[in-house]
Structure 1
Amino acid sequence: MSTEKFLPVEFCKGNNGLDKVVLRESRGSSAEVYLYGGHVTSWKNDHGEELLFVSSKATFKPPKAIRGGIPICFPQFASLGSLESHGFARNRFWSIDTDPPAFPTNSSSKAYIDLILRPSEEDLKIWPHSFEFRLRVALTPGGDLMLISRVRNTSTDGKPFSFTFAYHTYFSVSDISEVRVEGLETLDYLDNLQNKERFTEQGDAITFESEVSSGYHFSVCLHYLTLLFI
C-alpha cells in the first residue's frame, strides 16, 4: 500500500524554474497553473489525457507570453485598442491571493488556487487605471476545470474604466475532422486570412479543412475563432 500523501494543491517549479501550482482531484484529473501570466498550461482528465494544447515552441521565458494553454487577455483582447495585443496580464507575474473573496465553487473540492494581479508603476504608465484582478482556478470533483475572474476598480478618484477580456483557450484536438462549431450562423465576421474582409456566416456549423482565423461580431463583444496547425 502506498503511503504517499495525496496533495490537492502542490507548489513547485516548472519550465525554466518558473513557479507553478499543480491541482489534483482524487479521481485522477489534474491542472497546472503558472504564476507567470496566471496561465493554465495543462488540464488532464481522469484518464490522464491532455485537453489543452501548448506549442512545442513555447519558451517559458518572460517577458514573452506562454504559447498555448489558457492565456488571460486583459485589459485588452486582440488588437482593438492602444495596448499590446491581448494586453499585459499574460506577461506579468501574479501573486497568491491570501485574502480572496467568496467564490461560487463546489465546496467539496479542495483543488483550487486563488491568484491576484495588481498594476505596477510601469503598467500604470501605459494603462492609467488602478485595479485588482482576482482569479480562481479550480478542479471540480468530476474533473471539470473552472476559471472565475473578478476585476475591482481600486482608483482613489472613483472614475470608471472600460476593458476587454478573454480566456484565450487552446484546446488539444486529436481529429480536426470531428470538430464542429455551432451557433454562429447569420453573424458577421472578419476573415484575418483575407485582409480582414467582412463576411456573413451562412452555415449552421463550421468545420475545418485548413487554417482558420476569424473574428465574429456579437451584440456585446467580439469573439475570435483561431485554428492553428503546429
Structure 2
Amino acid sequence: MGHAVAIWDHKAAIELTKDWNGIDQVVLRNPQGASARVSLHGGQVTSWRNDRGEELLFTSSKAIFKPPKAMRGGIPICFPQFGNCVSLEQHGFARNKVWTIDENPPPLHHNDSHGKSFVDLLLKPSEEDLKFWPHSFEFCLRVSLGADGKLTLISRIRNINSKPFSFSFAYHTYLSVSDISEVRIEGLETLDYLDNLFKRERFTEQGDAITFESEVDRVYLSSPNVIAVLDHERKRTYVIRKEGLPDTVVWNPWEKKSRAMLDFGDEEYKQMLCVDGSAIEKPITLKPGEEWTGRLELTVVPSSFCSEGLIIPS
C-alpha cells in the first residue's frame, strides 16, 4: 500500500481491498462519507454512494461477478467498440480485462485536490488482445470522488502504434432510479438519434423530454455536454457532464428483454436506466503518438434545483 499513501489527501482516503471473488478493488471515500468502488476487473466502477450511504448506481441482483465477463451494473467501460463486431466481444474487451494501478499518476491540480480521493488505473494490450485487435495502446483511467460527492471518470487513450487506429467508446452508466415510469431526461430534445430497435435508423426526437413506456435503445447524436435525469419519486436529479463524448446512449431493456437476460432480474428494468456519455457515430481516430481524452462527471442534486437552469452546455 506504499503507492496509495502518495495519493492520499489529508481528508480523503483510498483503500485497496478484495471483493468476495478475491479480485482487487479500490474504495474511494470523501470527508462527508460518500464512497465509490472501482474493480480492477474491467476498471469498472461498481458502487457510488452519497454521504447518506444511498447507492446511486444500479447493479442487478443476478449480476455475475466472475471474470471473464463484465458485471451487469455500475459503469462498465466499452472500448474499442460499442455494440457488436465480428472479431471482438460485444462492447469490446476493456471491461473484461484486469487493469493495474498506475504507479506514476499525473498529479492533481492544487485547486482541484481538496477533499478529493482518486485512483489511476492502466490497461495495455496483451499478446492475445493484439491477435484480435492489432493496435498497441495505453489506456489510463482516473476515477475520482470529490469533496461534494461528485464522481468523475477521465479516460486517456494513447496510440503507441506505428499506424493510425479508430475506436468507439462509451461509459455504460447504470443509474439507480425509483421507478422508470417516473423518470424523465432533459437535454436531448430535438436531437437526431439512431434507433437500435429499428436497425439503427435515424429519427428526430419529438418529445419535450424523454419519458419511458417501453423498451428504449438509442444513440442521441451531437448531444449537449450537460444532461439531466430527473427522478420524481426520489426528488433528485442526476446531472451528467461530459467532454470528448459527442453522443449519448439511452437504454432500458423493458420487460421482454429483461426476461431473456440471465444476469438481470425480470422486473429490474423498473429500477434502472442507462445514460452513457459516448463516441459512437463517428469513431475516434488516433495517429501514432496521439492521445484522446473522454471525461464524465456525475453529480446528484435535489430536483428543486433542476430543469432549464441545468441544460447549459458547459
Structure 2 match to 1:125: 131
Distance 1:198 1:27 in 2: 45
Distance 2:94 2:116 in 1: 26
**TM superposition shift of 1:195:** 5.0
Letter in 2 for 1:176: I
Show the 5 A alignment for 1:26-41: 26-41=31-46
Structure 1 match to 2:278: none
**TM superposition shift of 1:198:** 4.1
User: Secondary structure of 1:125's match?
Assistant: helix
Structure 1 match to 2:122: 116
Structure 2 match to 1:98: 103
Show the 5 A alignment for 1:16-31: 16-31=21-36
Distance 2:121 2:220 in 1: 30
Distance 2:31 2:192 in 1: 44
Distance 2:24 2:132 in 1: 26
**TM superposition shift of 1:26:** 1.4
Distance 1:138 1:184 in 2: 27
Greater alpha carbon shift after TM alignment, 187-196 vs 130-139 = 187-196
Distance 2:72 2:146 in 1: 26
User: Secondary structure of 1:122's match?
Assistant: helix
Structure 1 match to 2:52: 47
Greater alpha carbon shift after TM alignment, 82-91 vs 69-78 = 82-91
**TM superposition shift of 1:179:** 1.7
Distance 2:12 2:193 in 1: 45
Asked whether the 8 Å contact 1:183–1:204 carries over to 2, the reply is: no
Residue 171 (structure 1) aligned with residue 175 (structure 2): yes
* Alignment coverage as a number of residue pairs: 223
Structure 2 match to 1:147: 153
Show the 5 A alignment for 1:67-106: 67-79=72-84, 82-103=87-108, 106=112
Residue 216 (structure 1) aligned with residue 220 (structure 2): yes
Distance 1:172 1:150 in 2: 27
Q: Deviations over 1:7-52 (max 9, x none)?
A: 7111111132211111111101000000000000000000111000
Where do 5+ consecutive residues of structure 2 fail to align?
A: 1-10, 224-244, 255-267, 269-314
| Counterparts in 2 of 1:88 and 1:162: CA distance versus 1, 3 Å | same
Asked whether the 8 Å contact 2:123–2:139 carries over to 1, the reply is: yes
Structure 2 match to 1:206: 210
Distance 1:77 1:197 in 2: 17
Residue 225 (structure 1) aligned with residue 231 (structure 2): no
Q: Deviations over 1:67-95 (max 9, x none)?
A: 11000111112236753221100000000
Asked whether the 8 Å contact 2:82–2:90 carries over to 1, the reply is: yes
Asked whether the 8 Å contact 1:180–1:207 carries over to 2, the reply is: yes
Asked whether the 8 Å contact 1:118–1:133 carries over to 2, the reply is: yes
Q: Deviations over 1:130-168 (max 9, x none)?
A: 11100111100111111111111122x2x2221111111
Greater alpha carbon shift after TM alignment, 165-174 vs 180-189 = 180-189
User: Secondary structure of 2:131's match?
Assistant: helix
Asked whether the 8 Å contact 1:132–1:154 carries over to 2, the reply is: yes
Residue 192 (structure 1) aligned with residue 217 (structure 2): no
Distance 1:58 1:126 in 2: 27
Structure 2 match to 1:161: 165
| Counterparts in 2 of 1:198 and 1:7: CA distance versus 1, 3 Å | closer
Distance 1:87 1:93 in 2: 14
TM-score (norm 1): 0.88
| Counterparts in 2 of 1:103 and 1:164: CA distance versus 1, 3 Å | farther
Q: Deviations over 1:114-144 (max 9, x none)?
A: 1000000011111111111001111001111
User: Secondary structure of 2:72's match?
Assistant: coil
Where do 5+ consecutive residues of structure 1 fail to align?
A: 1-5
| Counterparts in 2 of 1:110 and 1:216: CA distance versus 1, 3 Å | closer
